[in-house]
Chains A and B, each alone.
Chain A
Amino acid sequence: MKQFLGFLVKEFYHIFRDFRTLLILFGMPVAQIMLFGFAITNEVKDVKIAILDESKDNITKEISSKLLSSGYFIAYDNLKSVKDIEPEFRKGMIKEVIIFEPNFSGNLLKLGKANVQLIADASEPNLANMIVGYTSSILMDYQKDLAKSGDIRPSINTDVKMRYNPNLKSVFMFVPGLMAVILLLVSALMTSISITKEKEIGTMEVLLVSPLKPFQIIIGKVIPYLLLAFVNAFVILGLAQFVFGVPIAGNTVLLLLESTLFVITSLSLGIFISTISNSQQTAMMVSLGGLMLPTIILSGYIFPIENMPIPLQIISNIVPARWFITIVKSIMLKGAGFEYIIKETLVLAGMTVFLIALSIKKFKTRLE
């Protein structure tokens, strides 16, 4: 036991003396979540719009105030005439103009039909699409309200409903994927590098010719990274909750337990990689190319699995992060209990057992 503790102390020296790696380990989760949370959003918030109201009746005023109080839009300017639209767009000050035709309420109430024109700045097509979509759905809402009060039948009935993320907050969707990527990176990449480093600098030779048992070497390598990964999981969840207000709908303990399972899966992947590579560089290439890319692309983190071609969907089954992301989404966003994620949990556990068995079989007690 003393031997093992001595080994563990040494591992912690390695980690805490390598300042740059440490900075990456703890800086990266924070940087990434901030990046995804603040910068790379695809949600509509405080978009500047202009309203050209040529009717100025009760209904147009009501619609305008509904638009502006939605939180998606803020009024930049109320235009005087159609001629003013072009210059404002050119200046880039507004993203959308809403034009109500003259005698809007009269037409709507008498003819049952009134025209409103939406002009959007489509130099950013995605954003323009979204803004128009949001605006139309607000108009539709109003139309429906009117219909309830009796006189006019709504001709269009659109049902816009976003389950689990009603406001389309993208940070909600990124947190589970981010957890998977960070935990995988810390666990698999760092462990595989740390074991191959001993091979590369020749210390493995000395360690092998010592009474230390192979499993003591492996466990000693794994424990520090298990702890680091756990700290990272806490940091990500904490930031998600307190900075971005992502709720944890389900059981936090269950979430942490599942995260631990995924960390162990990743660690066993890392050990496996280290048994098949002889240099830190190989280990890094295998980890980044063989793990990071599939994890980002095939796990449903960024691209939905349902939209992939069938062969890729099949391949995605062997990516551990795919199962973990499903678990995290279920617990965090849907508040699902353990009974809903048994299948995913079993898949991860199975992968872990398989990888550990393989690693122990491949771990060499000699140099060949």
Chain B
Amino acid sequence: MYIVEVKNITKNFKDTVAVDDISFEVGQGELFGLIGPDGAGKTTLFRMLTTLLKPMSGYAKVLGFDIVKDYKKIRKHVGYMPGRFSLYQDLSVEENLKFFATIFGTTIEENYDLIKDIYILLEPFKKRKAGKLSGGMKQKLALCCALIHKPDVLFLDEPTTGVDPVSRNEFWEMLRKLKEQGITILVSTPYMDEASLCDRVALMQKGKTLSIDTPENIISRFKKPLFAISSENQYSLMQNLLAYENRDTIYPFGDFLHYTDKRENVSTDEIMKYIESLNCKKITVKSIKPNIEDCFMALMEEN
């Protein structure tokens, strides 16, 4: 049995299609990532899976329960951490945790093992009001609150958005540990670099899935040679390459432009030569391995 099973699910808000005919399955103990920019439909999909929204068509099952008919049963067994910080700002760290333990009919002590690693970091601040915590701390507390009733499946909606890189790494480390304890985790994120930390990912764009696979498989399907190019004046370089007849795709990517060529076995030297003819200075051209974002861009282009 799949822990989460989504079949041809669609959701409209008036004229906008937020989620468009999506299907996927998540198995026991899997860390599944929904990756896509803002407006891709990640939150809507999560809200449907956590029984907060009804689909227009298609169906989904969580732990074998239908998200529309058996919503009460699902609500007992899932942990949900919404995208926005959704705890009580005027309650202390300890009181928040206690409250969520109580409404799920359990106590902090009963499931302390599960949250111990995370809660230890919060313990020095347990008397502090949740509203006065730093972003990273808030996120850890929210995770504790979502975990305190020992859910079978955890839905984390953009947990790392707006959190510093160190805390983000810590957070993924925690998710890995939870996964080891057998909890199935669905996590959404707009950060492409976090895809490689998931077992499998669904790349989403405008309500549709572009690809659902392991990060490695998605990357291995990127067949074209990829180059990273930089020069003194990136803007004019970009304009020139956009006008180049052999160009296939080009995207700015940090300090570099990621470039693919229409010709099949094109070499670094050939590209170098062309750019030098444009009177550019301090040119670097190197052949690189694609990452998830390159794949995402390529898949977007195909659709």
Contacts and interface: CB of A to CB of B under 8 A. Distances in A.
- For chain B, give the interface size range: 20 to 34
B179 interface: no
Interface in B236-259: none
B266 interface: no
B80 A209 contact: yes
A18 B102 CA distance: 23
B102 A6 contact: yes
A367 B85 contact: no
B52 interface: yes
A161 interface: no
Interface string B79-102: 010101111111100010011101
B91 A10 contact: yes
A6 B72 CA distance: 20
B184 interface: no
A368 B90 CA distance: 27
A360 interface: no
Q: For A10, A206, A365, which residue has the most chain B Cβ atoms within 10 angstroms?
A: A206
Interface in A1-56: 2-3, 5-7, 9-10, 13-14, 17-18
Given A2-B105, A202-B82, A209 B53 contact: no
Interface in A302-335: none
Contacts of B54: 366, 368
B102 A206 contact: no
Given A3-B105, A6-B103, A10-B99, A209 B52 contact: yes
Contacts of A6: 98-99, 102-103
A368 B11 CA distance: 12
Interface in B43-75: 47, 50-54, 71-72, 75
A17 B50 contact: no
A18 B90 CA distance: 8
Given A3-B102, A211-B103, A367 B47 contact: yes
B80 to A, nearest CB: 4
Interface string A346-368: 00000000000000000001111
B226 interface: no
B104 interface: yes
- For chain A, give the interface size range: 20 to 34
B75 A14 contact: no
Interface in B31-50: 47, 50
A212 interface: yes
B82 A208 contact: no
Contact of B103 (A3, A201, A365, A368): A3
B286 interface: no
B75 A209 contact: yes
A203 interface: yes
A211 B105 contact: yes
A88 to B, nearest CB: 61
A84 B95 CA distance: 76
A366 B76 contact: no
A123 interface: no
Q: For B50, B72, B98, B103, which residue has the most chain A Cβ atoms within 10 angstroms?
A: B103
Contacts of A2: 102, 105
Contacts of A367: 47, 52-53
A58 interface: no
A279 to B, nearest CB: 14
Interface of A: 2-3, 5-7, 9-10, 13-14, 17-18, 201-203, 205-212, 365-368
15 contacts: A3-B105, A7-B102, A9-B99, A13-B91, A17-B90, A201-B86, A201-B89, A202-B84, A202-B86, A203-B87, A208-B51, A209-B50, A209-B51, A210-B75, A365-B71
